[in-house]
Amino acid sequence: MITMFLVLSIVFMLMRLLPTDTYFGGRSDSMSDTVKENILKQLGLFDPWYVQLGNFWKKLLLHGDLGESIVIQQGAKCVDLIIPKAKWSFQFGAIAMIFQMLIGYSMGVMMARWKGRFFDSLGNLYILLINALPAAVYFLFIQIYVSKALGLPMLFERYNPVSRILPILCLSLGGIASNAMWMRRYMVDQMNLDYIRLARAKGMTSSQVAFRHVMRNAFIPMAQSLPTTLLFTISGSLYVESLFSIPGMGGLLITSIQRQDNTMVQAMVLLYSAISVIGLLLGDIMMMICDPRISLTKKGGSR
Amino acid sequence: MSRFSVKENRANRLEEALLEQIEQTAAERDELTAGEIESLDPEEFETVPYSAEGAERIGYSNYSYWRSTLRMFLKNRLAVAMLIVIVLLMGFAIVQAYLPGQGTRGLTEGILPAQGPQNAIRIYNWPDGTKDAGLPMKNQRPSGAFWFGTNAIGQDLWSMIWSGTRTSLIIGFAVALIEAVVGTFTGLLWGYIRKLDFFFTELYNVLNNIPTTIVLILCTYVMRASIPTLILAMSLTGWMGLARFIRNQVLMIRDRDFNLASRCLGTPTDRIIVKNLIPQMVSVIMLRMALAVPGAIGWEVFLSYIGLGLSVDTPSLGNLVNTGRAMISAPRLRYQLIFPAVILSVITICFYLVGNAFADAADPRNHL
């Protein structure tokens, strides 16, 4: 909670460093100085920073209020603008997440089982490409060439379910790669340990060992990152949503940046920071559930 | 090892006979006969007098960390090839602006043979005597005059791309360098000075909770993008991972016996840090640097994409890809996207592979 408070406060203070010109929504030339000053005063930008910070927290905690949009839809509450967008992001994110887990984990398990064989090197090539290439580049090429090759629409259309295939594909590619990579690495690490050798010596078949022992232990470090990935996938990818023009939260953030809607950017940025902090917290809890040896309350003997 | 195994008994018997035979021949051949000594060439031998120095010399393995690392690295053919590609690309990107006739190849009339980095953003007009004389040469497809074609306002894409490569590489290397220096320095402070441990740990917990994307967006949004602000924004969070790693390493190594001995013998702290601690972490620092370059280039593309990148006056791979993106609906003009994207991909893949191969080679467990 303290971390969250600090993080949000820091982000809020950083936003205060902005030049005030950007608060007039691109109409600063046509306004007189008194009008400008009035607007700024209304927004409370002349108050000392601790008053601003206090007001911000008071509004957020008591009313759940993140301020009003300036450019995109003048006077509308940011929260009201975000919520309908979040629905789309959630829909896409949830589906992509399922794909990521199903394909990614099984790919990692298979790569570890047949380590050094053809499938393993194929998977490694895929992981290498996804990790090394900037996401923008391969998304663009998928949008251009895969859409043509499969005859799919390039952009998202609300009433055309086929148009959802490509965005979901793009959303899951990165996650599949990282899931498979970590799963493979942890499983390979585990396989060299003594208890696995004992299990094999006891006469368990290798698939029994793989699923009952290796996978369960390999999953523990992955459990920590699970909630963060979940929250971020759901909160929408900045790239994919604006590339395929999906009306989601990521796209909204980009639009508000491009049109310089300060309060909107602030609201979105705060939201994303909050999501990441919550994700990390949930990740720790998740890890505790998966692994009874870890407890959050115990103070580790530092050195 | 059963006493009753027929097979083993027989094997033992055979073995004994063999051993006996070998011992016999060895005993026979132990001394050279006088005749054999006579027949040896005396020039092949030299008499060595007793030397006190030589008697004190200690035998040691000639294992050298860096030589083994280099040997392991050279074994990885692919990585070496990639390294050569990187060196060539970087060398060409630096040299390109100073080569004669860049941007004018074969098209001399009407255009001054301009040189130097400024050349990249110049707009080319049709020379006199053509039907569009004086107008910009927009969207020319790749040809002998413009090897990569021209863009929507008549700039030479070839020069733009190399200038952009320079920008992106400068950003990448600056970020990598800052990350390495700041990360190592804070990491050492964090690990070595116990009083600072609490402060740094809390700082890390808070800062690490803010996603990189958000930090980058905020910084560039607040400060307006230029090369220095981009570098600053990217190095703002990059150092933390390295610092944490170094802190953990320092905690592990600082109280080992050799450091204790070193301290007892009166080695000053700075020398302990430089000579005893840092060499243990060099490989990881190098790896982080190698991966920071493609990382920074990728972030730059991302920022350009969301509209917070460098302005078009400063060509960079990011904004070139981004302008090329506008052309995807016109298949004829897609070369404007494909050329920068291909260069970008080559650079990032090379750095990624070389970095990983180097990390593998630098791991002493792989030295055999």
Query: Could you tell me the residue range of the domain that residue A37 belongs to?
Result: 2-63
Give the model's pLDDT for residue B144.
64
pLDDT value for B109: 36
The predicted pLDDT at position B175 comes to 92
Contact B349 A141 (CB under 8 A): no
Angstrom distance (rounded) from CA A182 to CA B351 = 21
Residues of B in contact with A137 (CB under 8 A): 301, 321, 341, 344-345
Cross-chain Cβ contact B214/A277 below 8 Å: no
Two tokens, residue B179: 């990350």
Q: A137 and A268: one domain? A: yes
Establish if A254 belongs to a structural domain.
yes
Of B218, B220, B175, residue with least CA distance to B310: B220
Q: Are A257 and B305 a contacting pair at CB < 8 A?
A: no
Q: What H or E segment, with its residue span, contains residue B233?
A: helix B227-253
- Chain A residue with minimum CA distance to B304: A136
Contact residues, chain B, for A253 at CB < 8 Å = 217, 306
**Claim to verify: residue A187 and residue A248 sit in the same structural domain:** yes
Asked whether the beta carbons of residue A15 and residue B213 sit closer than 8 angstroms, the reply is: no
The closest alpha carbon to B276, from B297, B256, B247, B301, belongs to B256
**Which among A17, A134, A144 has CB closest to B301?**
A134
- A231 lies in some domain: yes
Interface test with B, best of A21, A140, A260 (most B CBs within 10 A): A140
* Position A201 in a domain: yes
| Alpha-carbon gap: A137 to the closest alpha carbon of chain B (Å) | 6
Q: Are A147 and A154 in contact (CB under 8 A)?
A: yes
CA distance A39 to A23: 8
Has residue A70 been placed in a domain? Answer: no
The total of other beta-carbon atoms located within 10 Å of residue B358's CB is 22
- Which residues of B touch chain A, with CB atoms under 8 Å apart? 205-206, 209-211, 213-214, 217-219, 221-222, 251, 294, 297-298, 301-302, 305-308, 321, 325, 328, 334, 337, 341, 344-345, 348-349, 351-353
- Does residue A211 sit in the same domain as residue A272? yes
A155 CB within 8 Å of a chain B CB: no
d(CA B351, CA B69): 18
Do residues A58 and A88 both lie within one domain?
Answer: no
Cα–Cα distance measured from residue A44 to residue A197, given in angstroms and rounded to the nearest whole number: 67
Transcribe chain A into DSSP letters: -HHHHHHHHHHHHHHTTS-GGGGGTT-GGGS-HHHHHHHHHHTTTTS-HHHHHHHHHHHHHHH----B-SSTTTT-BHHHHHHHHHHHHHHHHHHHHHHHHHHHHHHHHHHHHTTTSHHHHHHHHHHHHHHHS-HHHHHHHIIIIIHHHHT--SS--TT-GGGGHHHHHHHHHHHHHHHHHHHHHHHHHHHTSHHHHHHHHHT--HHHHIIIIIHHHHHHHHHHHHHHHHHHHHT--HHHHHHTT--SHHHHHHHHHHTT-HHHHHHHHHHHHHHHHHHHHHHHHHHHHH-TT--SSSPP---
For B221, the closest of A135, A140, A265 (CB atoms) is: A265
CA A100/CA A179 separation, integer angstroms: 7
Number of Cβ within 10 Å of residue B192's Cβ equals: 18
The answer to whether residue A143 is domain-embedded is yes
CA of B222 to nearest chain A CA: how many angstroms apart?
Answer: 5
Are the beta carbons of A133 and B205 separated by less than 8 Å? no
Q: How far is B77 from chain A (nearest CA, A)?
A: 16
pLDDT tens per residue, range B28-38: 766 677 777 77
pLDDT score for B193:
82
Amino acid residing at A75: G
How many beta-carbon contacts under 8 Å exist across A and B?
104
Among chain A residues, the shortest Cα distance to B339 is held by A137
| CB contact (8 A) between residue A11 and residue B341 | no
Q: Which residues of A touch B210 (CB under 8 A)?
A: 7, 10-11, 273, 276
Of B218, B306, B348, the CB nearest to A133: B348
Is A127 in the same domain as A177? Answer: yes
Alpha-carbon span B264 to B35, nearest angstrom: 62
Q: Identify from A14, A224, A275 which residue to disrupt to test chain B contact, counting B C-beta atoms within 10 A and taking the largest count.
A: A14
CB B238 within 8 A of CB B183: yes
Cβ–Cβ < 8 Å for B341, A137: yes
**pLDDT tens, residue order, chain A (303 aa):** 677 777 777 777 777 666 655 555 555 555 666 666 666 666 666 666 666 777 777 666 666 666 666 666 666 677 777 777 777 888 888 888 888 888 888 888 888 878 778 888 888 888 888 888 877 788 888 887 877 777 777 777 777 777 788 888 888 888 888 888 888 888 887 777 788 888 888 888 777 777 777 777 777 777 777 777 777 666 657 778 877 777 878 778 877 777 777 777 777 777 777 777 787 788 878 877 777 776 655 444 443
**Residue A302's closest chain B neighbor by CA?**
B251
DSSP code of B331?
Answer: G
How do the pLDDT tens digits run along chain B, 368 residues long?
566 677 778 888 888 888 888 888 877 766 677 777 777 777 777 777 787 777 777 766 677 777 888 888 888 888 899 899 999 988 888 877 666 655 444 333 334 334 444 455 566 666 666 666 666 666 677 766 666 777 777 677 777 788 888 888 888 999 999 999 999 988 888 888 888 888 888 888 777 777 777 788 878 877 777 788 888 888 888 888 888 888 888 888 887 888 888 888 888 888 888 877 877 787 788 888 888 888 888 888 888 887 787 777 777 888 888 888 777 777 777 777 888 888 888 888 898 888 888 877 877 666 66
Please tell me the distance in Å from A162's CA to the nearest CA on chain B. 20
Q: Cβ B222–A137 below 8 Å, yes or no?
A: no
Q: Is A282 on the interface with B (CB under 8 A)?
A: no
AA letter at B231:
I
**ipTM more than 0.85?**
no
Please tell me whether residues A243 and A97 are part of one structural domain.
Answer: yes
Chain A closest-CA separation from residue B232 CA (Å): 15
Question: Do residues A10 and A96 both lie within one domain?
Answer: no
Contact in structure between A11 and A270 (CB atoms under 8 Å): yes
Among chain B residues, CA nearest to A279: B209
* Residue of A133, A136, A254 lying closest to B349 (CB–CB): A133
Q: What type of residue is B127?
A: P
CB proximity list for A25: less than 8 A, separation 6 or greater: A70, A71, A74, A260, A261
SS3 label, residue B325? helix
Q: What is the pLDDT of residue B116?
A: 41
Report, in angstroms and rounded to the nearest whole number, the Rg of chain A calculated over CA atoms. 24
Residue A178 lies in a domain: yes
The pTM of the full predicted model, rounded to 2 decimals, is: 0.74
Smallest Cα distance from B214 to chain A, Å: 6
Say what the pLDDT of residue B39 is: 77
A124 shares a domain with A29: no
Contact A219/B at CB under 8 A = no
Domain's final residue, options A39, A63, A87: A63
Instruction: Give how many domains chain A has, as a whole number.
Output: 2
Please tell me which residue of chain B has the smallest CA distance to A5.
B206
CA distance B328 to A144: 7
Q: Spell out which residues of chain A touch residue B359, defining contact as CB-CB under 8 Å.
A: none
Is B206 within 8 Å of A135 when comparing Cβ atoms?
no
CB contact under 8 A, A254 and B344: no
Whole-number pLDDT of residue B177: 92
Q: Are A59 and A191 within one domain?
A: no
Q: Is B268 helix (H, G, I), strand (E, B) or coil?
A: coil
**Any idea what the CATH number is for the domain that residue A181 is in?**
1.10.3720.10
A213 shares its domain with A116: yes
Chain A: closest CA distance from residue B257 (Å): 16
Considering the domain architecture, whether residues A14 and A117 belong to the same structural domain is answered as: no
Give me the helix-helix angle, B335-362 and B65-75, nearest 10°.
Answer: 140
Same structural domain for residues A97 and A228?
Answer: yes
**For position B122, what pLDDT does the model report?**
63
Judged by CB atoms closer than 8 Å, whether chains meet at A134 and B302 is answered as yes
- Distance between CA atoms of residues A268 and A158, nearest Å: 24
- Nearest C-alpha of chain A: how many angstroms from B16? 36
Mutate to test the interface with A, among B198, B214, B344 (most CBs of A within 10 A): B214
Contact flag B301-A137 (C-beta cutoff 8 Å): yes
The reported pLDDT for the residue numbered B114 is: 41
Take residue B344 and report the two structure tokens written for it: 């970008």
Q: Which residue bears the tokens 């910009």?
A: B136
Decide if A246 contacts A156 (C-beta within 8 A).
yes
Name the residue among B214, B297, B306 with its Cβ closest to that of A269: B214
